């Protein structure tokens, strides 16, 4: 009875220890084989065992001790930076070799069974084992080569045999990849080492090369400036290394550019490429440009600019519903629309960036916008979402200060841009408009101050919560 009480207490402490280690260090304690050893010990202490049962009891305990020692020396100590990191395949191989050695020694000492003699004296058995072990040995050596040379690691994006995927695991037998389409690819290690291997993640940031063709009417200097602006505004593009735009050649119908942007991980390269190309289309459309047709295409197509007002009546009705411009006369609204620009933006495109200068405000005619501010900890805090009829940019327009927040498009949006010159002509006719703008600016400033106070309080609460979790084991 006492043995089982000790067994239950030991299993409980083992579970508690395993969860604590996983929570604080991220490693899983080998609790399964340890639990089996504790149960085997309890059975041996309760029921006298002899022969094969006693032998199995000793083997389970010996294997558990071996596994725990390997875990401590090859997993936990490297986590504390007391020993160098060892590949998983090496840890598994050591466990298999030591376990096999323990089995042989135990059988020889306890059961008087000479396994090595049986294997070496049987020519047929030796031949069968040798033939069957050829491919597994190739895979084992291939896996050891990959891990010891650190050619790839779990989480790396690689291309092998013309296939691209993310490494999920590397075992003694095979390497498992998760392909870009979500499928799982299991490839023998021997095939991986025999193929040309390309690692996208092993040497720092990944370069995404995009080739685009722009019209000859767009000067190369302006084209490079536009491409660099779009790259710098995208949140996934790194500033170091900086984006690069090169003139790659003169084609039949377009000037070809090499657009090189750097990102932290290859995993989102296709999404980044799609975002940049989509935003380029909208940026070209706002400038009256377009992606050129092939020169052999005999269709004549004039580039249509989106800066013209497509539907004046619709925009006029929208302005009448806003508190800022609702008091203007019909003629004043028409003059304001005529002096303004209506532009379209693509998904994720930055309309205004925090800290930039500006001399215009924007009215959302279609779509939604996300407003965010950069916090002291380097994270972006979402502070608002704008919809049809909302305004932004009035603080910079009226006070001359830099943009106080970053505004990005969520999906395709259409914005009416009103600059300072267009607004000044209205103020001479309607001085009360300045009072309404001042009221709107003061309200926005109060909202920002309230959001900053709430964000500081939330950060303090998160910090206290993390500290409580960290010291929970000592406070209990």
Average of per-residue pLDDT values in the chain: 79
The SS3 call for residue 396 is: helix
CA distance 112 to 456: 72
In the chain, what are the domain boundaries? Answer: 2-132, 153-199, 206-286, 312-458
- Ranked by mean pLDDT, the top range of 67-71, 90-94, 143-147, 178-182 is 178-182
Instruction: Report long-range pairs for 155-159 (Cβ below 8 Å, ≥24 apart).
Output: 155/201, 156/199, 156/200, 156/201, 156/202, 157/199, 157/200, 157/201, 157/206, 157/265, 157/266, 157/267, 158/197, 158/198, 158/199, 158/200, 158/201, 159/197, 159/198, 159/200
Span 266-322, pLDDT tens digits: 888 889 999 999 999 999 998 888 888 765 545 555 544 444 455 788 898 898 888
Residue 214 has pLDDT above 50, yes or no: yes
Tell me, what's the pLDDT at 307? 40
Tell me, what's the pLDDT at 209? 93
Q: Which of 87-91, 318-322, 338-342, 376-380 has the lowest mean pLDDT?
A: 87-91
C-beta of residue 253 within 8 angstroms of C-beta of residue 213: yes
Residue 239 has pLDDT above 70, yes or no: yes
Which of the listed CATH numbers 3.40.367.20, 2.60.120.10, 3.40.47.10, 2.40.110.10 matches domain 312-458? 2.60.120.10
Burial of 239 (0-12, 13-18, 19+ CB in 10 A): exposed
Confirm or reject CATH 3.30.70.100 for domain 206-286, answering yes or no: yes
Fold match, 153-199 / 312-458: no
Tell me, what's the pLDDT at 397? 80
Residue 207 has pLDDT above 50, yes or no: yes
Please, what CATH class does the domain formed by 153-199 belong to? mainly beta
């Amino acid at each position: 009875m006492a043995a089982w009480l000790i067994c239950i207490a030991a299993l409980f402490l083992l579970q508690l220890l395993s969860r604590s280690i996983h929570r604080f260090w991220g490693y899983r304690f080998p609790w399964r084989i340890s639990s089996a050893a504790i149960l085997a010990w309890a059975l041996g202490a309760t029921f006298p065992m002899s022969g094969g049962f006693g032998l199995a009891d000793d083997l389970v305990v010996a294997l558990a001790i071996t596994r725990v020692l390997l875990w401590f020396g090859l997993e936990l100590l490297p986590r504390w930076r007391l020993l160098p990191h060892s590949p998983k395949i090496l840890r598994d191989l050591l466990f298999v070799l030591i376990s096999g050695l323990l089995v042989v020694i135990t059988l020889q000492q306890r059961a008087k069974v000479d396994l090595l003699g049986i294997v070496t004296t049987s020519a047929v058995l030796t031949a069968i084992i040798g033939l069957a072990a050829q491919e597994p040995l190739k895979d084992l050596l291939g896996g050891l080569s990959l891990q010891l040379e650190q050619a790839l690691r779990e989480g790396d994006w690689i291309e092998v045999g013309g296939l691209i995927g993310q490494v999920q695991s590397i075992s003694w037998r095979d390497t498992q990849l998760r392909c870009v389409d979500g499928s799982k690819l299991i490839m023998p290690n021997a095939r991986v080492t025999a193929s040309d291997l390309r690692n996208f993640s092993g040497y720092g940031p990944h370069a995404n090369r995009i080739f685009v063709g722009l019209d000859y009417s767009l000067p190369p200097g302006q084209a490079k400036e536009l491409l660099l602006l779009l790259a710098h505004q995208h949140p996934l593009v790194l500033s170091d290394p900086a984006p690069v735009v090169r003139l790659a050649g003169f084609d039949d119908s377009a000037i070809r550019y090499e657009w090189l942007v750097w990102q932290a991980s290859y995993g989102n390269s296709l999404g980044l490429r799609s975002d940049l190309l989509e935003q380029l289309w909208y940026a070209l459309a706002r400038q009256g440009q377009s992606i050129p047709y092939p020169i052999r295409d005999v269709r004549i197509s004039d580039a249509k600019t989106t800066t013209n007002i497509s539907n004046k009546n619709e925009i006029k009705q929208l302005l009448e519903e806003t508190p800022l411009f609702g008091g203007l006369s019909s003629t004043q609204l028409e003059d304001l629309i005529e002096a303004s620009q209506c532009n379209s933006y693509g998904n994720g495109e930055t309309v205004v960036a925090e800290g930039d200068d500006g001399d215009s405000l924007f009215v959302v005619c279609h779509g939604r916008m996300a407003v965010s501010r950069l916090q002291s900890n380097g994270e972006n805090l979402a502070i608002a979402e704008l919809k049809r009829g909302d305004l932004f940019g009035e603080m910079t327009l009226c006070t001359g200060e830099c943009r106080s927040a970053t505004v990005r498009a969520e999906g395709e949006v259409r914005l009416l841009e009103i600059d300072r010159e267009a607004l000044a002509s209205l103020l001479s006719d309607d001085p009360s408009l300045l009072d309404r703008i001042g009221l709107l600016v003061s309200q926005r400033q109060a909202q920002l101050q309230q959001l900053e106070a709430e964000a500081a309080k939330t950060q303090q609460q998160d910090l206290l919560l993390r500290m409580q979790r960290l010291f929970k084991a000592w406070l209990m």
